[in-house]
């Protein structure tokens, strides 16, 4: 038995099917789904547009019924991406982004001296929230600086100014300067800096440095502190006996390499074998027999005049007293004092 109601209803459907046209598959709408999705719909059948996760519907109907005309009504519905909260500013850092809409990902970097507390990337989720949470740029800190053995902290300074960081934490760019204890020499840079990695640059080393006792120079003497040993920065002074000249500095210092900054010696002065000559000494013409009555000191230099016989002119050649030896230039001719008619080379016009 067919119920009269059902019969009537199916008759109605037959009528509509005959009288109306079918609707086509509905137009695609970006980021929306249609249920149910079919190739065609009988008039009276209903469809529902719903926005995909991450998109919100705006400006239109979501539910449509296939009309007898078989033409779907104009659909003004739009599915627009959800927008996450503005995240374009990261204090002490920067954000790379195109938009803050689902499903975009943005990325973060911090300025030097700051580190990312959080993740480098965040995604705008279907719910319109950032995931994971937005990071912050936190200032880099270094632990209180380690003190090298046998050293003391002489200055600690923040890069910003004079304020010293007090014990606990130092910031990026802060510096600390060390001094070695007496007798200790520093190897490495005396200054360490808090780096962007939150560690300090390489620590210097302080090593005890001894120098041997300096030996007495021949024809001279050396003075140094009367101690059981001589250390880094200790000093010794040298002197020479009469007629001897110090070759090197008067004062030497024990260097960080365990040797002396110099090893001065005493050099003998020269007796002048020439009896009479005009020479140039320190830019002036002098009589050698008068100027160097007591000999020439080690290192002193004079220029002798020589003659060029062909051209009848004069030129000079140097002679230097080196540890007791003064070599007279070969071209120099000493005249007997009786040969008064001869012109001295120093009186001849220069070549």
Ligand X SMILES: *[C@@H]1O[C@H](CO)[C@@H](O)[C@H](O)[C@H]1NC(C)=O
Residues that bind ligand X (CB under 6 A): 91-92, 111, 113, 117, 136, 138, 161-164, 189, 191, 193, 195, 197, 199, 201-202, 255, 257, 259, 261-262
Cα distance between residue 75 and residue 62, in whole Å: 8
In the bound state with ligand X, the residue whose beta carbon lies nearer, of 80 and 134, is 134
Q: Is 24 exposed, middle or buried (0-12, 13-18, 19+ CB in 10 A)?
A: middle
- Shortest CB 198 distance to ligand X, Å: 7
Structural tokens at position 231: 């250390």
- Shortest CB 138 distance to ligand X, Å: 4
- DSSP summary character for residue 6: H
How do the residues of the chain divide into helix, strand and coil, expressed in percent and rounded to 5? 5, 40, 55
- Shortest CB 98 distance to ligand X, Å: 24
In the bound state with ligand X, the residue whose beta carbon lies nearer, of 162 and 215, is 162
In the bound state with ligand X, the residue whose beta carbon lies nearer, of 116 and 348, is 116
In the bound state with ligand X, the residue whose beta carbon lies nearer, of 201 and 308, is 201
Cα distance between residue 150 and residue 231, in whole Å: 14
Answer for the pair 296, 289: CB distance below 8 angstroms, yes or no. Answer: no
- DSSP summary character for residue 36: S
Angle at CA of residue 201, ends 199 and 204, nearest 5°: 130
- Shortest CB 160 distance to ligand X, Å: 9
In the bound state with ligand X, the residue whose beta carbon lies nearer, of 50 and 255, is 255
- Shortest CB 168 distance to ligand X, Å: 14
């Amino acid at each position: 038995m067919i119920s009269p109601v059902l019969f009537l209803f199916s008759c109605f459907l037959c009528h509509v099917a005959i009288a109306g046209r079918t609707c086509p598959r509905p137009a695609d709408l970006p980021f929306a789904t249609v249920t149910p999705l079919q190739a065609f719909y009988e008039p009276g059948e209903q469809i529902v547009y719903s926005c995909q996760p991450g998109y919100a519907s705006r400006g239109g109907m979501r539910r449509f019924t296939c009309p007898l005309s078989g033409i779907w009504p104009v659909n003004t519905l739009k599915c627009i991406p959800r927008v996450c909260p503005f995240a374009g500013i990261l204090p002490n850092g920067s954000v790379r982004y195109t938009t803050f809409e689902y499903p975009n990902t943005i990325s973060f970097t911090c300025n030097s001296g700051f580190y990312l507390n959080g993740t480098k990337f965040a995604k705008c989720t279907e719910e319109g929230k950032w995931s994971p949470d937005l990071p912050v740029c936190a200032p880099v800190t270094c632990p209180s600086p380690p003190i090298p053995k046998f050293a003391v902290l002489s200055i600690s300074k923040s890069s910003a100014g004079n304020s010293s960081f007090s014990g606990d934490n130092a910031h990026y760019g802060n510096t600390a300067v060390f001094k070695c204890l007496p007798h200790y020499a520093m190897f490495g840079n005396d200054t360490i800096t808090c780096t962007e990695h939150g560690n300090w640059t390489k620590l210097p080393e302080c090593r005890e440095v001894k120098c041997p006792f300096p030996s007495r120079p021949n024809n001279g003497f050396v003075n140094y502190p009367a101690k059981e040993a001589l250390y880094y920065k200790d000093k010794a002074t040298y002197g020479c006996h009469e007629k001897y000249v110090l070759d090197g500095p008067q004062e030497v210092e024990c260097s960080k390499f365990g040797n002396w900054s110099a090893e001065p010696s005493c050099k003998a002065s020269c007796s002048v074998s020439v009896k009479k000559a005009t020479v140039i000494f320190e830019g002036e013409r002098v009589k050698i027999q008068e100027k160097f009555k007591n000999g020439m000191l080690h290192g002193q230099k004079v220029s002798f005049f020589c003659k060029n016989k062909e051209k009848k002119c004069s030129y000079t050649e140097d002679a230097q007293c080196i540890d007791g030896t003064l070599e007279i230039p070969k071209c120099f001719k000493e005249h007997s004092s009786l040969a008064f008619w001869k012109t001295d080379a120093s009186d001849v016009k220069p070549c």
